[in-house]
Amino acid sequence: MFDAAVIGGGPAGLSAAVNLKLLAKSVLWFGSPHGSDKVEKSEKIANYPGLGLLSGAELNRRFREHAAAMALEPVDRMVTLIAQTDEGFQLLADNELYEAKSILLATGAVTAKGFEGEAEYLGRGVSYCATCDGFLYRGKTIAVHLGAARFEHEAAYLAGLAAKVYLFAGYRDCAVRGENIEMPDSPIVKVSGGLKANAVVLRDGREIPVDGLFCLRNAVAPASLVPGLALDGVHIAVDREMKTNLAGCYAAGDCTGRPYQIAKAVGEGNIAAHAMAAYLAERK
Ligand SMILES: Cc1cc2nc3c(=O)[nH]c(=O)nc-3n(C[C@H](O)[C@H](O)[C@H](O)COP(=O)(O)OP(=O)(O)OC[C@H]3O[C@@H](n4cnc5c(N)ncnc54)[C@H](O)[C@@H]3O)c2cc1C
C-alpha cells in the first residue's frame, strides 16, 4: 500500500508528488506523460515567478524534466472510482486496483458538466471505463462519447466488442473508423432509460436506442470519482490545509476553485503534500 496517491498530472499534482517524495513518502502518481493539456495550450505565461515570459509548452517540458529528475514516473491511467476503506483508499484505474493510505485529488477544473441523466445511470448502463466494463457489451449496441484523442484506442477496443457503435467525438479529426461505427453529426445531450439506460438523446432531438453509453473524458466529476465528497458549488470543498470532508483525502489546484492559475495550483499541491505527511505521521 502506498503512503499517498496523487490523481492528476498537472502543476498541482506534480508539486504534491515532488514534495511527498522529498518528505520520504511512497507516492503513486496518476497523470499523462505529456503533462497538463491546459498548460500546453497556454500561448504565453507571464505570471509564474522566476521564469519570465515563456510558452505553456516550454513550462510543460520543464515540469516533465523536473518529474524525471526526481524519478517520478506518472501512471498513465484514468482513475474512475475511489472508495474509502478502513485502511485508506482503493482506486480503480483501467481495471487495475491500487491502494493508498491517503489521496490527493489534483484533477483540474471539470469543464464538461456531464450529460443530463449521466450521473443517475452511472453503473446502470453508463460507464467511464472501457477496459473495466467493455466485455458487458459484447455483441450489443453502444454509444461512445470521446472527449479527447488519447482515448481513441479505447473506442477502437469497444468497437471490437460491440455489434454497433454510435461514436460522438468532442473534438476535430477523430481517427477512429470501422464498419460497425456510425458518427452522428449531433452531440449527446441526455441519457434516458428505465431501471437501466436504454437510449441517448441528441441535440437535434433524435433518440438513439443503445444498451450502454461510455463517456471517455480527461476528467471525471469529483462527486462521481469519490462518493461522499463534499462540494462547494462545482469545486471540491477544502480547508486551508487542503483537507476535504473525508479523512485522508485532500484536493489541490483548479478543482478546489478560482483563480485557475498555475502558481495557485503549485502552491496548493505543496500545502496538501505537507498536510498529508502530517496526517500519515498521526496515523502511525
Ligand atoms: C488556454 C489556457 C491558458 C492559460 N494560461 C495561463 C497563464 O497564463 N497563467 C496561469 O497561471 N494559468 C493559466 N492557465 C490555467 C492553468 O493552466 C491551470 O490553472 C493549471 O493547469 C491548473 O493545474 P491543475 O494541476 O489544477 O490542473 P490541470 O492542469 O488541469 O491538470 C489536471 C490533470 O489531471 C488529469 N486528470 C483529471 N482527472 C483524472 C483522473 N480521474 N485520473 C487521472 N488523471 C486525471 C487531467 O487529465 C489533467 O492532465 C491557462 C489555461 C488555459 C486553458
Q: Is the pLDDT of residue 133 over 90?
A: no
Are residues 210 and 233 both part of a single domain? no
The set of protein residues with a Cβ atom below 6 angstroms from ligand 1 is 7-13, 30-32, 36-39, 41-42, 45, 47, 78-79, 106-108, 218-220, 225, 253-254, 260-263, 265
Span from the CA of 150 to the centroid of ligand 1 (angstroms):
16
- Rounded-to-integer distance, Cα 265 and Cα 275, Å: 15
Are residues 236 and 196 both part of a single domain? no
Are residues 186 and 137 both part of a single domain? yes
Is 276 inside a domain boundary?
yes
Ligand 1 mutation target, pool 78, 107, 224, 226, most atoms within 8 A of CB: 107
Q: Is the pLDDT of residue 122 over 70?
A: yes
Are residues 97 and 82 both part of a single domain? yes
**What's the whole-number mean pLDDT along residues 50-75?**
95
Atom of ligand 1 nearest to the CA of 11: 25
Is 47 inside a domain boundary?
yes
Strands (E), the chain: 2-7, 27-30, 79-84, 89-93, 96-105, 126-127, 141-146, 164-169, 181-182, 188-193, 197-202, 207-209, 212-216, 231-232, 235-236, 249-251
Are residues 152 and 224 both part of a single domain? no
Ligand 1 mutation target, pool 38, 80, 220, most atoms within 8 A of CB: 38
Atom of ligand 1 nearest to the CA of 80: 41
Is 117 inside a domain boundary?
no
Domains in the chain, number: 2
Q: Is the pLDDT of residue 266 over 70?
A: yes
Give the tens place of pLDDT for each residue, 96-115.
999 999 999 999 987 667 89
Does 236 or 109 have the greater pLDDT score? 236
**pLDDT, position 14:** 98
Is 237 inside a domain boundary?
yes
Span from the CA of 263 to the centroid of ligand 1 (angstroms):
11
Are residues 102 and 156 both part of a single domain? no
Is 34 inside a domain boundary?
yes
284 band by pLDDT with thresholds 50, 70 and 90: confident
Are residues 6 and 138 both part of a single domain? no
Final residue of a structural domain among 216, 241, 264: 216
State which amino acid sits at residue 267.
G
Does 171 or 251 have the greater pLDDT score? 251
**pLDDT, position 111:** 65
**pLDDT, position 262:** 96
Are residues 19 and 73 both part of a single domain? yes
Atom of ligand 1 nearest to the CA of 14: 25
Give the tens place of pLDDT for each residue, 24-56.
999 999 999 999 988 998 889 999 999 999 999
Is 56 inside a domain boundary?
yes
**pLDDT, position 99:** 98
Are residues 238 and 204 both part of a single domain? no
Span from the CA of 178 to the centroid of ligand 1 (angstroms):
33
Final residue of a structural domain among 216, 233, 259: 216
Domain with 253 in it: 2-111+220-283
- Rounded-to-integer distance, Cα 198 and Cα 181, Å: 18
Share of the chain above pLDDT 70, in %: 99
DSSP code of residue 119: T
**pLDDT, position 154:** 92
Average pLDDT over all residues of the chain? 93
**pLDDT, position 278:** 98
Give the tens place of pLDDT for each residue, 168-217.
998 889 999 999 999 999 999 999 999 999 999 999 999 999 999 999 98
Is 103 inside a domain boundary?
yes
Supply the pTM of this predicted model: 0.86
Alpha helical stretches, state H, the chain = 11-22, 37-41, 56-69, 130-133, 152-161, 222-225, 262-283
**What's the whole-number mean pLDDT along residues 142-149?**
93
Nearest CA residue ID for atom 52, ligand 1: 38
Is 15 inside a domain boundary?
yes
Q: Residue 232 has which C-alpha cell?
A: 462547494
Nearest CA residue ID for atom 44, ligand 1: 8
Span from the CA of 254 to the centroid of ligand 1 (angstroms):
7
**pLDDT, position 112:** 63
Nearest CA residue ID for atom 20, ligand 1: 262
What CATH number is attached to the domain comprising 266?
3.50.50.60
Nearest CA residue ID for atom 41, ligand 1: 79
